[in-house]
Structure 1
Amino acid sequence: MTSTTPATPADLVLTGARVHTVDPELPEAEAIAVRDGRIVWVGADADAARWTGPGTTVVDAGGRLVLPGFIDAHNHVRLGSDDACVQLAGARTLDAIHERITTWRAAHPDARWIEAEAFDYSAIPGGRMPTAADLDPVTGDTPALVLSYDVHTAWLNTAALRVLDVTRDRTDLPFGTAVTDPETGEPTGFVKDFAVKGLSRAGHRALRELGVPWASPDRQYGRLAKSLDDAIAYGITTVVEPQNSLDDLVLFTRARAEGRLRSRIVAALFHPRGTTDAELDEFAWAAKEFADDRLRVGPLKLYIDDVVEPRTAALLEPYAGCGHHRGDTFYPPEEFADLLTGLDARGFQCFVHATGDRGIRTVLDAVARARAVNGPRDARHQVVHVECLDPADTPRFAELGVVACMQPRHAAPDIAGPGQDWAENIGPDRWHKAWPLRSLHAAGAVLALSSDWNVAEMDPMVGIYTAVTRRALNGGGEPWTPEETIDVATAVEGYTMGSAYANFLEGERGSLTVGKLADFVVLSRDILRIDPEEIPGTVAETVVVGGEIVVTGGEVVPARPRD
């Protein structure tokens, strides 16, 4: 806070607020002044008049809570949801899936493809994975592509197997790995590794060339534009899009030109297995080409394992009730350590998807190798998801400078708790390993919190509520693993300063501090003081990005194309 009279009035002054700055030097304030897109003053209402002039926009917050703009550290804004798809969220039985597809077909009788998203594994009885035979009765000869809610697997009918040329002799596909029947050797219709292959540059191109509408540029852009509108409406002023190819960057530049890029973007580039040195050179070029405060490219996304629900995450001990099956890592540990050491030597920051305790340990071991070979540096490599963490590895995050990029909503009992595939596959003896937010925080790890949209709801209020309660979103039932809850202030920090630090942005975002970008949100409720059960339903009434009001009265300001 400054005590001198400014030579030039501010462009925007916010008054009458309860400002929670997430800045320990000045934790609370009542007013903020903004000039040229940055915060120039934070202080008391009594001093705000000094910053106003004839051209100053003054916003009265009416006593409401003001927070730094949310930074969603892992948000797939390019993926969904897609209005052209059958929406399967909430369809918890095969009959319910059939009903939704049948209703959609009746409304789209001329559709060349049936595409659906948000399939829940638990909808298939007996814990088995779906097959083409499960789809054929309601899809007939029209090819069908159904994506799981986590977009890690795809489900095809017989017609799609034929169109996409999936056979017993062709299971290693550009867009995934076809599962085969152990008795007949024929493809079942279930495809693993879709997130690793199908969302890669080569996989996406293959789907597009095969005529899958979901992969077309127009459909991609439609998903992105809609998700960007949702993000800013929720007060998410920076989105970290964690998995992109160089082909995808044109989508963001188009959104920027059309005024849809209201939220700032950090775009990580996907590094699938087999990425060449020449491609790494392209990645380094893109990081220099896209490096402003609105669109930044740079981190690399890798996978070490898959996901728990279809039993493809890598565990230290076998899955419950599955004999000796522990899942696999995509790389042998030595190879992955060599890979990450090489990327670290080139100065790349790595986001590594790891859900199982063996997968997470493999990543931490690789970071330790990189530090031993290259010397310690401020790399801020991330383990993304940290779903099942062995307690022995908890202190290693802080020791190695590794960020825990986590999604609290995934830890809700209605998503992963007793009776759900995650909890049943892990088994009760290991539930204490589930999403250990409090343990990591207590051990000094940086928590970067996020939604993982469209795997879960984008709204930060949903994530904060779950982090604080570990309860179902409807508030019913008992909390699951409540010993790993965190308080609201810690959750807010994870969605602001924690995520800023995780992405080397703490110097300009994450707190309401003089000199930083003027990105902040006015909430309808004071989530730091109300009962946690009231956090869901709290809305962003006003959102400011770079000093520009982009949401007012809870409504998104219409897009304005750039000149």
Structure 2
Amino acid sequence: MTTADLVLTGGNVHTVDPAQPHADTVAVRDGRIVWVGYAAEAPAWVTGAADVVRLDGRTLLPGFVDAHNHVRLGSDRECVQLAGADSVEAVAARLRDWDRAHPGVGWVEAEGYAYVGLENGAHPTRQQLDAIIPDRPVVVFSYDVHTLWLNTLGLTGLGIDDADQPFGTAELDAEGVPTGFITDFAVKGLSRAGVRALRDRRLPWASTDRQYSRLLTSLDHTVACGITTVVEPQNSPDDIALFERARAEGRLDPRVVLAMFHPPTTTPEERREFARLASAYDDDRLRVGPLKLYIDDVVEPHTAALHEDYANEPGHRGATYYEPTDFADLVADLDRDGFQLFVHATGDRGITTVLDAVEHARLVNGPRDARHQIVHVECLRHDDLPRFAELGVVACMQPRHASPDLAGPGHAWAEAVGERRWHQAWPLRSLQEHGATLAFSSDWNVAEMEPMVGIYSAVTRSPLAGGDAWQPEEAVSVADAVRGYTMGSAVANFCEHDRGSITVGKLADMVVLDQDPHTVDSAKLADVAVLETWVGGERKYAS
């Protein structure tokens, strides 16, 4: 047997492989794992490796697989950062501070607005932003990047004078004047046509250079978080060049899976283009394959589809982007053509509509191992819990979103759905108990990218700073949370044959942690630090 290239030994190895759960040594050759076991039993071709890394008792896990991470959107260093601004006054202070520090006539762009300062479903207005910065165009991206908030000059700068825009839907007041609040941005503004329109109208955020800068920053952060495979869930064919450039420049450290965005306006020719790209990009470093669709929007601005009225807006239940029968036919068509689908669904009626569509596709086309995903699954009625496993649908979820400091009592999400439906919020344990495949992710930059933050949230259902849990009956174990960020996400993306566990024959994608998450106090899980990240047997990050 040829000597191994690399050996990591003396560690606390959790393999996430039930056939061999624990070890202290892993051997690598040609980028793949060739031996797993205990050093005392290692053959000479393992112990004689040229490169031996002493783990000194540190914990080794499979590299994390982030199943839904917007690395291309990322966090933009040119934007005012509003994360943590928990009042209109705090938002105003940050905008004014940035304006004073960056005098001029260009755009003021901000991100991370968390729908604060709103009551009874009200939306922010241009007049509120005008009172903060009246003499420069301002655009504020919500933390979920589903809505925009603009001042009067911002509306003028983007040429918004009616409701229907290529990058969103502008709310109008009683006189037909845009209010400054734009919905449907994730569906229209992040589409190929939407981004092109924003570039044509000279919004700096949409420029190719800014996109590439965001991508590089996010890719670096990815491996620093221990993520070895990242799924970028919403791209157009135009965006592939950014990833090609990163690869050519040696900056594509994590493995990447790209889903192509399929908005309602997608043409048959564009679908054929998606299929051609899936054939052209299909290696273990950069793969194109799934399609991203939306059935509804988001809960906070009341644009998700609910079975019953919003608690703070009687008579309103949100809407789906398609009529249910039309969506069922679309899903059947795409399923017949062999596509895997990622469908954004947050409201319980939106989720039901997707499950109904997958059921219809299976009846029309026959069952297959499609692994269609419902992404987010934020508010799920009990009757739909068993349907995920029955239909082979993956629940791609973001545990951090369920934290009470983001969505719980007193926050826009919880107030919108109402206390009577809080038991439906991010039902991790219930889905698991009903046999669903759980794939965990961050949804960066909607929430922190660090998987250990997500694991903390999945296990405790508590605020990041500590405190009372929200819906603690839906918490899962540490082992289950780790599996959701490794094997669960690998299975969800058809890569369980070479990722998701430390198993002989798989890619040598691994993460070294300073503490064992299985034994650390659960209140300290988010503090567990990534020390090293290995991708294909190469150290891509060291703290």
Whether TM exceeds 0.5 here: the answer is yes
For 1:292, the aligned partner's letter is D
Alignment correspondent of 2:60 = 66
Measure the CA separation in 1 of the matches of 2:182 and 2:536: 43
C-alpha distance in 2, partners of 1:54/1:33? Answer: 10
Q: CA deviation at 1:44?
A: 0.6
For 1:175, the aligned partner's letter is F
Aligned residue in 1 for 2:25: 31
1:346 aligns with 2:340: no
Does the aligned pair in 2 maintain the 1:488–1:528 contact within 8 Å?
yes
State the shift of 1:123 in Å: 3.4
Are the equivalent residues in 1 in contact too, given 2:229–2:255 (CA < 8 A)? yes
Structure-1 residue corresponding to 2:305:
314
Please name the residue that 1:401 is paired with. 392
Corresponding residue of 1:109: 103
The structure 2 residue matched to 1:90, chosen from 64, 84, 89, is 84
Question: Aligned-pair distance for 1:233?
Answer: 0.3
SS at match of 1:368: helix
- Could you give the per-residue CA deviations for residues 445-488 of structure 1, whole angstroms, max 9, x where no partner exists? 00000001000000001100000000000012x10000100000
Secondary structure of residue in 1 paired with 2:498: coil
Counterpart position of 2:128: 134
The CA RMSD measured in Å over matched residues stands at 1.1
Is 2:146–2:183's contact at 8 Å kept on the other side of the alignment? yes
Q: Which residue of 2 aligns with 1:10?
A: 4
Encode CA deviations 1:340-395: one digit per residue, 9 max, x unaligned. 00000000000000000000000000000000000000000000000000000000
Q: How far apart are the structure 1 equivalents of 2:92 and 2:351?
A: 37
The answer to whether residue 517 in structure 2 is matched with residue 524 in structure 1 is: no
Distance 2:509 2:216 in 1: 20
Contact 2:62 2:511 (8 Å CA) reproduced: yes
How far has the Cα of 1:110 moved from its partner? 2.1
Q: Contact conserved, 2:121 with 2:302, CA < 8 A, in 1?
A: no
Higher mean displacement: 256-265 or 213-222: 256-265
Counterpart of 1:39, as a letter, is I
With over 3 angstroms needed to count, the CA separation of the structure-2 counterparts of 1:18 and 1:110, relative to structure 1, is: same
> Cα distance, 1:433 vs. partner?
0.5
Whole-angstrom CA distance in 2 between matches of 1:127 and 1:177: 17
> Is 1:502 paired with 2:496?
no
What SS is found at the alignment partner of 1:510?
coil
Matched, 1:227 2:221: no
The answer to whether the Cα contact below 8 Å between 2:4 and 2:48 also exists between their aligned partners in 1 is no
**Aligned residue identity for 1:312:** T
Correspondence for 2:294:
303
Gaps of 5+ in 2: none
- Asked if the contact 1:314/1:358 (under 8 Å) is kept, the reply is yes
Amino acid at match of 1:365: D
Counterpart residue number, 1:561? none
Alpha-carbon offset, residue 64 of structure 1: 1.4
Q: Residue 423 of structure 1 aligns to which amino acid in structure 2?
A: A
Instruction: Give the Cα–Cα distance (whole angstroms) in 2 for the partners of residues 321 and 460 of structure 1.
Output: 33
Aligned position for 2:41: 47
Q: How does 1:440-519 map to 2 (within 5 A)?
A: 440-476=431-467, 478-519=468-509
CA distance in 2, matches of 1:536, 1:525: 11
Correspondence 1:172 to 2:164: yes
Identity of aligned residues (%): 63
Question: Which string of whole-angstrom CA distances, capped at 9 and with x for unpartnered residues, describes residues 288-332 of structure 1?
Answer: 111110000010000000000001000000000312100000000
**What letter corresponds to residue 19 of structure 1 in structure 2?**
V
Question: Aligned residue for 1:149?
Answer: 143
Do 1:33 and 1:48's aligned partners in 2 also have CA atoms closer than 8 Å?
no
**2-structure distance, mates of 1:417, 1:53:** 52
Q: Contact 1:423–1:431 (CA<8 Å) still a contact in 2? A: yes
Query: How far off its partner does 1:125 sit?
Result: 5.5
Equivalent residue in structure 2 for 1:419, among 410, 420, 430: 410
Is structure 2 residue 536 aligned with structure 1 residue 542? no
Task: Measure, in 1, the Cα distance between the counterparts of 2:503 and 2:105.
Answer: 53
Cα distance in structure 2, aligned partners of 1:131 and 1:324? 23
Q: State the 1:102 CA deviation.
A: 1.1
Matched letter for residue 177 of structure 1: T
The number of residue pairs the alignment matches comes to 543
- Give the conservation status (yes or no) of the 8 Å contact 1:15–1:48: no
Query: Which runs of no fewer than 5 residues in structure 1 stay unpaired?
Result: 1-6, 555-563
Decide whether aligned partners of structure 1 residues 296 and 456 sit closer, same or farther in structure 2, where only a CA change above 3 A counts: same
Name the TM-score, length of structure 2 as normaliser: 0.99
State whether residues 157 and 189 of structure 1, in contact with CA within 8 Å, keep that contact through their aligned partners in structure 2. yes
In structure 1, distance between residues paired with 2:484 and 2:109? 35
Contact 2:26 2:33 (C-alpha < 8 Å) held by counterparts? yes
1:386 aligns with 2:377: yes
User: Could you tell which deviates more after superposition, 57-66 or 297-306?
Assistant: 57-66
